Structure 1
């Protein structure tokens, strides 16, 4: 599987350089997302702009990423899903599960707001 990883100060941008996320690539995507998480990053933006097609196993890989990155107060953001992928996300009602944005600016803002919300909720617990 071809992809790029761009490590920013607050988050990581993971960009699959594949047109399809299907049963052939999904196990590799899951593995790579778990590797990034294991490296200590808890905020990930997955840039889906190159992905024109996904099947249920592709969505399953995204769900694994969402679960892992959200587990300990992190965030998993799906950025710029293409029409077919977005339709599948909506049909599966995963648009209620994923944080979905269109641009890197929106993703950065979502990470920032999530960080502020996390700090606020920690202060309330004290």
Structure 2
């Protein structure tokens, strides 16, 4: 699986360089997402702008990422999904589960807001 990883201070942008996210690539995607998390990053943006097709196993890999990054108070954001992928997400009703934005800039803003809200919650609990 070809991909790029751009590590920022608060988050990682993971960009699959593949047109299809299917059963052949899903296990590798899951593994790479978990590796990024194991490196200590809580927030991940997956840039789907190159992915033109996904099947149920591709969505399953995204669900694993969403669950794992959310488990420790982090955030998992899907950015720039192509039409076919977005239709599948909506058909599966996963648009209610995933945070989906149109651009990397919107994803960065969402992470910033998420971080601020997390700090405010910590302060309220103290």
- TM bucket, shorter chain: over 0.9
How much is the aligned-residue C-alpha RMSD, in angstroms?
A: 0.5
Q: What aligned pairs does 1:78-93 form with structure 2 within 5 A after superposition?
A: 78-93=78-93
Report the 3-state secondary structure (helix = DSSP H, G, I; strand = E; otherwise coil) of the residue aligned with 1:45: strand
> Deviations for 1:64-93, whole angstroms, at most 9, x for unmatched residues?
000010101000000000000000000111
Instruction: Report how many aligned residue pairs link the two structures.
Output: 126
What TM-score do the two structures reach when normalised by structure 1? 0.99
Q: What aligned pairs does 1:47-62 form with structure 2 within 5 A after superposition?
A: 47-62=47-62
CA distance in 2, matches of 1:98, 1:116: 20
Q: Which residue of 2 aligns with 1:123?
A: 123
Unpaired runs of at least 5, structure 2:
none
Q: Does 1:4 align with 2:29?
A: no
CA distance in 1, matches of 2:107, 2:58: 21
What TM-score do the two structures reach when normalised by structure 2? 0.99
